[in-house]
Structure formats: structure tokens, C-alpha cells
């Protein structure tokens, strides 16, 4: 059996962006340029980096983007007003509010204000509910990116045992739903799981979405497993590190995603995909 193959998210995301470039060209010829608004409240430095990446990727594929920066002291009402304005703006097909928000603003309140048809993050309760009940919806970008990585690498998902570590609304919960939809058997683990290793060692596909550096070591992985690392953690030197101890797990895994260059670029690619989808649907 092959071991330690790298899943090159950077290359796969570049391929998807190229496909989307043709899609935007076609939409523009039909008189609709896809438009994305990205709202950033405050000055979280990681968020600034992500938003820059999103705006740059939009330009590359021909999506119009607007970056809306609001100060840390912005009130929840001011942010809700901004969202309502974008909901009415016909040149904007997708609205993204970068998380986390400052403490005094409720992310649930804010996400619920976004028009579900412009909710390109797929975080609105209507879209989350549609995904959970098997209806068409915007798929959350990181889970969808993970699925694309598996599909485009030729990893069989149907019938396999996927173990997801982490139960966030952004990654853990929706990726478990998507994998079930693809006929995987899914185990969800989280911070209160007892005997975590006994579960992770059962995984044919292991998804680490915890947000803590190197929580998954070689002792947590079954030889031959496919390992997907969603972690974006900074070490003391500010260097990016995943949830998986890449060096020691790679020789065991059949396939593994690096950090950076694995899941991260896919999240952005699927955001562009959702924006094109929203623009396409706006003509209906």
C-alpha cells in the first residue's frame, strides 16, 4: 500500500479557480458579473490575512469584490444595517462576514440577517438546516473543500469510516453531514470525548478540526488512513501549524494534507464557487 502521499490543496484549488474563471467569463458574457462583499470588523490579524486572500482570489477569477472594513467599536445594529444594505444591492451576490466578531456582537444574530440566497459561507440557519435535511443549499466552504480534496484525489468515501475530531458549526458539524451524504460511516469526537485515541485509530478517513497544534500524533492514526488537517494554528514564532503532527504522521498515512497548502486554499476556492452559484441563481 502507498504511504505518505501529499494531497496538494494548493494545486487542486488552482485547478478549481481555473474552472471558475471559465464560469465567470460565461456569466459576464450573459451580463452578470459575480460580486462578493467581505465584511471585516476590527483588526484581527489572522482575519486580515484571510480576507486579503479572498479578495485576491476573486480578482484572479473575475469576481467583483468589495471589502468593507468596520472599526472594532462598530455596534451590532450598525453591522446589521450594513448587511441589510448589501442584501438589497443587486451587484452583490455573496455576503461574507469574517469571523470571529468582536465580543459585543452576536455572530448568530449577524449571520441570520444575511439573505440566505447570498449566504456564500453556508452558515445561515436556513442553509445549515437545508444541508442537514438533504435539500440543496450553499455548502460551507471548508467542508466542501475537504470533500473536493477527497474526490479529486480519488479517495473512496462511500462505506468508509470517517472520524471527525471537532464539532464546530463551521467545520466539524457540516463536514460530518457531508460525509454521511457521501455514504461514509461517521463518528464525531470532541473535547469531551473519552478514549479519543480508540476512536481516531478506527478511522479510514481522519478529519482533524480542533484548532490546537499537534493534537493528532502517530499513535492516534491507523496505518493507511487518509488524514485531513483543518488546523490553522500559529506556533511561538508565528509559523502556521496544523492539528496533526505532520512529520510523524505522514509516513503512516496513505494520504495527508499539509498545513499550509492543504485545506486552506480549498476554503477560498469553494467560496468563489458559491459566489458563482449565487450569481447564476440571481437570474432565476
Positions in the binding site for ligand GUN (CB under 6 A): 96-99, 121, 141-142, 170, 267
Among residues 54, 118, 160, 173, the one annotated as catalytic is: 54
CB-based closest residue to ligand GUN: 99
CB-CB contact of 118 with 93 (8 Å): yes
> CA–CA distance from 227 to each of 54, 268, 273 (Å)?
25, 20, 24
* Nearest one of 40, 47, 104, 97 to 70, comparing CA atoms: 40
> Smallest distance from the beta carbon of 141 to ligand GUN, in angstroms?
5
> Smallest distance from the beta carbon of 259 to ligand GUN, in angstroms?
14
CB-CB contact of 228 with 210 (8 Å): no
Q: At what angle do helices 172-181 and 141-153 cross, to 10 degrees?
A: 40
Is 54 a residue of the active site? Answer: yes
Instruction: Name the residue nearer to ligand GUN (CB basis): 87 or 202.
Output: 87
Residues 170 and 167: their CA atoms lie apart, in Å, by 8
Residue owning grid cell 468515501: 157
Residues annotated within the binding site are 166-168
Phi and psi, residue 170, nearest 5°: -80, -40
Among residues 98, 115, 160, 220, the one annotated as catalytic is: 98
Residues annotated within the binding site for NADP(+) are 166-168
Among residues 8, 115, 117, 121, the one annotated as catalytic is: 121
> Smallest distance from the beta carbon of 201 to ligand GUN, in angstroms?
28
Instruction: Name the residue nearer to ligand GUN (CB basis): 39 or 203.
Output: 39
> Smallest distance from the beta carbon of 267 to ligand GUN, in angstroms?
6
CB-CB contact of 153 with 203 (8 Å): no
Which cell numbers hold the place of 128?
445549515
Which cell numbers hold the place of 77?
445594529
Instruction: Name the residue nearer to ligand GUN (CB basis): 141 or 164.
Output: 141
Is 98 a residue of the active site? Answer: yes
Instruction: Name the residue nearer to ligand GUN (CB basis): 37 or 186.
Output: 37
Catalytic residue annotation: 54, 98, 121
Amino acid at each position: 500500500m502507498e504511504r505518505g502521499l501529499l494531497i496538494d490543496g494548493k494545486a487542486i484549488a488552482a485547478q478549481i479557480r481555473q474552472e471558475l474563471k471559465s464560469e465567470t467569463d460565461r456569466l459576464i458574457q450573459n451580463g452578470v458579473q459575480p460580486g462578493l462583499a467581505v465584511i471585516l470588523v476590527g483588526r484581527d490579524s489572522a482575519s486580515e490575512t484571510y480576507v486579503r486572500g479572498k479578495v485576491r482570489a476573486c480578482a484572479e477569477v473575475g469576481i467583483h469584490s468589495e471589502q468593507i472594513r468596520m472599526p472594532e467599536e462598530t455596534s451590532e445594529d450598525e453591522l446589521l444595517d450594513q448587511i441589510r444594505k448589501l442584501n438589497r444591492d443587486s451587484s452583490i451576490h455573496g455576503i461574507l462576514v469574517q469571523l470571529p466578531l468582536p465580543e459585543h456582537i452576536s455572530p448568530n444574530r449577524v449571520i441570520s440577517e444575511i439573505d440566505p440566497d447570498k449566504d456564500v459561507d453556508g452558515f445561515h440557519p436556513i442553509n445549515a438546516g437545508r444541508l442537514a435535511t438533504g435539500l440543496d443549499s450553499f455548502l460551507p466552504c471548508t467542508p466542501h473543500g475537504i470533500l473536493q480534496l477527497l474526490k479529486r484525489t480519488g479517495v473512496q468515501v462511500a462505506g468508509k469510516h470517517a472520524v471527525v475530531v471537532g464539532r464546530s458549526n463551521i467545520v466539524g458539524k457540516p463536514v460530518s453531514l457531508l460525509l454521511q451524504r457521501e455514504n461514509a460511516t461517521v463518528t464525531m469526537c470532541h473535547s469531551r470525548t473519552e478514549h479519543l485515541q480508540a476512536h481516531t485509530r478506527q478511522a479510514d478517513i481522519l478529519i482533524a478540526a480542533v484548532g490546537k497544534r499537534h493534537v493528532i500524533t502517530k499513535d492516534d492514526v491507523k496505518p493507511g488512513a487518509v488524514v485531513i488537517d483543518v488546523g490553522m494554528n500559529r506556533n511561538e514564532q508565528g509559523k502556521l501549524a496544523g492539528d496533526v503532527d505532520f512529520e510523524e504522521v505522514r509516513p503512516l498515512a496513505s494520504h495527508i494534507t499539509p498545513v499550509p497548502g492543504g485545506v486552506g486554499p480549498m476554503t477560498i476556492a469553494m467560496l468563489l464557487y458559491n459566489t458563482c452559484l449565487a450569481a447564476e441563481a440571481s437570474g432565476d
